[in-house]
Each structure stands twice: as C-alpha cells, then as structure tokens.
C-alpha cells in the first residue's frame, strides 16, 4: 500500500465531515484499522487570571473537541474493522501544572478515552492513550512559551 493524505481542520465540523467521507471512500467496506488523534496546541499558558474564556476555548477546540468529533465521525468505520483509537494526551492530563486550557484539555482526553474504551470493548475496538512528558517539540518550545507569557503580562 501507499500513504494517502487529506487536509483536516479539527476545529471545523465541515472539514471533519469531509475528511471522514474521504476516509470512507478510501477504505470502503473494510473499515478503518486505526485512528491517531495527535493535533494539539498549548498556548496560551500562564496564570489563570491572565486568561480570558476565548483562550480556553481555542485550546479545548483543538486538543479535546477536535479529537472527540473526529473519533465520533470515524467510529462506524473503526467498529467495522475492529480497529483502534490512539489519543495523544500528556503527563499534564494527570497533574495540572499551569493555568490555561492545556491541562484541562488533556484531562478531558483522558476521561473521553476511558469512557470510549469501556463503550467500545464489546465491539472489539481498542482505545489507547499516549502520555508524553516534556519532549522538545513546538508545544514545549520555551521561547514560544515565554513570548506567550510576556504578551499576557503586557
């Protein structure tokens, strides 16, 4: 086989629906072997009082609701293939270390994954969580985090 790709904006229901339709055309009646929900953003991070509600909504839209909606759209295909869902959480989905939506969104993914795992067990669909620590990525880039904090401070 070969790798096939499509564009997807996990914050846009229409984009998610189109991507799910594309996947269905690609896999047909075989169903979908696996789904990895890995989209994520961290900023802004900082003291809670420096945030406004939109800061929380933006992070939750990508990290939590995006993963949930993509999963819901693809669940029939995953059930057909007795596939698996892998959700990217974080060690910060267990221990909240800072303000902002990041830790909240990862707690949400932990809870969603736990309930989905129980719901899908009967159908043979496996659900796993990956909980990375502090790896060097764009999400953990200290310059970006510092710039976000400075912007909030000013």
Active site residue 146: no
DSSP letter, residue 45: B
Task: Spot the catalytic one: 56, 102, 107, 112.
Answer: 102
The percent of the chain in helix, strand and coil, each rounded to the nearest 5, is 55, 10, 30
CA distance 78 to 117: 13
Cα-based distances in Å from 133 to 18, 20, 66, 109, 141: 33, 30, 21, 15, 13
Beta bridge partners of 36: 86
Nearest to 78 by CA among 39, 16, 24: 24
Among all residues, which ones are annotated catalytic? 102
């Amino acid at each position: 086989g070969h790798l096939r790709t499509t564009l997807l904006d996990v914050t846009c229901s229409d984009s998610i629906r189109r991507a799910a339709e594309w996947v269905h055309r690609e896999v047909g009646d075989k169903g979908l072997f696996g789904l990895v929900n890995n989209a994520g953003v961290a900023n802004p991070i900082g003291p809670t009082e420096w945030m406004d509600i939109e800061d929380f909504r933006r992070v939750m839209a990508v990290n939590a609701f995006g993963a949930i909606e993509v999963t819901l759209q693809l669940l029939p295909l995953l059930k057909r293939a007795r596939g698996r869902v892998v959700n990217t959480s974080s060690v910060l989905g267990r221990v909240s270390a800072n303000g902002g939506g990041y830790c909240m969104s990862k707690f949400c993914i932990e809870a969603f994954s736990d309930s989905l795992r129980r719901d899908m067990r009967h159908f043979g669909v496996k659900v796993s969580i990956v909980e990375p620590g502090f790896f060097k990525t764009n999400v953990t880039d200290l310059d970006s985090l510092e710039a976000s904090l400075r912007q909030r401070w000013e």
